[in-house]
Amino acid sequence: YEDGPGKNIPFSIENKWRLLAVMCVFFGSGFVSPFIIVRHQLLKK
């Protein structure tokens, strides 16, 4: 295994745009999921 900053995390930080997209999906899904669950419960008969 390699040592050093950024080598001990389970994702790559070499491509900044890919990192941005992955982080937006990761944190965005956690933020949006309660709203989707509430919408589903309100629309359920």
pLDDT tens across 10-45, in order?
888 999 999 999 999 999 999 999 999 999 999 998
Distance CA 24, CA 28 (A): 5
Radius of gyration of the chain (CA): 17
Give the pLDDT of residue 6. 82
Burial class (CB in 10 A: 0-12, 13-18, 19+), 24: exposed
Give the pLDDT of residue 1. 66
DSSP state of 14: S
